[in-house]
């Protein structure tokens, strides 16, 4: 199974988590690629890949700048994503209770609206903790992989 790890970030934390997650999967001999959402086109979405989105929240619960073009293209083009599987991991800070993790939630809602199927629960990272973001993402994704195996 090919795994595409796509991240949207403002400060670089989602990229760090994406790289750590990908490295943990590569150790299992998986075919995995990491890409910034700003350089990934919706035309590249394939139904035979597993997508892992890591998305931070910026400002008042908005998507980070690197995820905006991808989200805008999804909203305008509205591709049929039926049959596409993905997992979602959100980064935020619970200090901002009203908007915690909303960047990932917005992207998740749009993918689901277009027919994609999320595997597992949305992962969450709270920047208010001292836990390293990469370790949190790796631990969450281990559970997602179990869910993927159970569905096969």
The CATH number that applies at residue 109 is 3.40.50.360
Residue with tokens 């790796």: 138
Helix, coil or strand: residue 7? strand
Residue-range definition of the domain harbouring residue 10: 2-151
Are 33 and 111 in contact by the 8 Å Cβ rule? The answer is no
Are 92 and 57 in contact by the 8 Å Cβ rule? The answer is yes
Are 95 and 128 in contact by the 8 Å Cβ rule? The answer is yes
> What's the structural domain count of the chain?
1
Better-scored residue on pLDDT, 88 or 132: 88
pLDDT in tens, 58-101: 877 788 999 999 999 999 999 999 989 999 999 887 676 676 77
């Amino acid at each position: 199974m090919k795994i595409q790890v796509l991240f949207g970030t403002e400060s670089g934390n989602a990229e760090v988590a994406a790289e750590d997650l990908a490295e943990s999967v590569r150790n299992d001999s998986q075919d995995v690629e990491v890409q910034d959402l700003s350089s990934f086109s919706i035309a590249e979405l394939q139904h035979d890949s597993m997508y892992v989105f890591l998305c931070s929240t910026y400002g008042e619960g908005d998507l980070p700048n690197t995820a905006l073009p991808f989200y805008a293209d999804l909203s305008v083009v509205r591709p049929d994503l039926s049959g596409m599987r993905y997992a979602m991991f959100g980064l935020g800070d619970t200090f901002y209770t009203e908007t915690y993790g909303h960047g990932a939630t917005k992207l998740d809602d749009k993918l689901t609206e277009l027919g994609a199927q999320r595997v597992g629960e949305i992962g969450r990272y709270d920047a208010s903790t001292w836990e390293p973001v990469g370790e949190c993402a790796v631990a969450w994704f281990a559970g997602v992989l179990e869910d993927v195996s159970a569905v096969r």
